[in-house]
Amino acid sequence: MWLLIGSGIILFFGFMAFTGAPYVPSKRRDVRQALSDLYRLDKKDTLVDIGAGDGIVLREASQRGARAVGYEINPIIAWIAMWLSRKDPRVTVKIGNFWRESLPDSTTVVYTFGDDRDIKKMYAKVEREATRLQRTLVFISYGFAVKGVVAKRQLGAYFRYDITPLQGKDCTV
């Protein structure tokens, strides 16, 4: 019985790894540095974490007074994030595939700890959302640079991009 349950869980997480970055949490010390030195997050902000994991980034954002919304495709990890964040009214965790979601209209910062194969696609998605919202969005990537785009700033393993709305013929929103 336990072997069956264990195999099921391993298969489930294995399948999830194919849908995007596998679950590995950001280091808390790094997150704290990013949200103060790379971008000074405060109560005027809404931070969205693409692939929220256990919600560590969301709770750090909330501690700075920001609203924080995370999308997590793996329901088991999402439930853990909800449980760990249950006393934090500024944190929302949504179970779902980020690629099918629009960002909340109040979004100011998008955080991701993604993977190399998806980072360019994520940048393009955030760019479309910046165009829809008609304002600049700060995009913070942990561990992966966007190839062909110059970062506004780099701090440790973080890359910060300020993504402006597309103009004219580049705009397909």
Ligand X SMILES: C[S@@+](CC[C@H](N)C(=O)[O-])C[C@H]1O[C@@H](n2cnc3c(N)ncnc32)[C@H](O)[C@@H]1O
Task: Count the residues of the shown chain that bind ligand X, applying the rule CB under 6 A.
Answer: 23
Give the separation between CA 70 and CA 14, rounded to whole angstroms. Answer: 22
Q: Does the protein bind ligand X through residue 13 (CB under 6 A)? A: no
Structure tokens at 74: 């793996």
Quick one: 98 or 161, whose CB is closer to ligand X? 98
Quick one: 52 or 82, whose CB is closer to ligand X? 52
Side-chain-facing half-sphere of 141: CA atoms under 13 Å: 25
Quick one: 79 or 135, whose CB is closer to ligand X? 79
Helix (H) or strand (E) holding 33: helix 28-33
Q: Does the protein bind ligand X through residue 62 (CB under 6 A)? A: no
Quick one: 123 or 165, whose CB is closer to ligand X? 123
Helices then strands, each counted (H, E), the chain = 5, 7
Q: Does the protein bind ligand X through residue 140 (CB under 6 A)? A: no
Q: Does the protein bind ligand X through residue 26 (CB under 6 A)? A: yes
Scanning 4-12, 46-54, 120-128, 163-171 for contacts with ligand X by CB under 6 A, the matching segment is 46-54
Q: What is the DSSP-derived secondary structure letter of residue 25?
A: P
Give the separation between CA 108 and CA 163, rounded to whole angstroms. Answer: 10
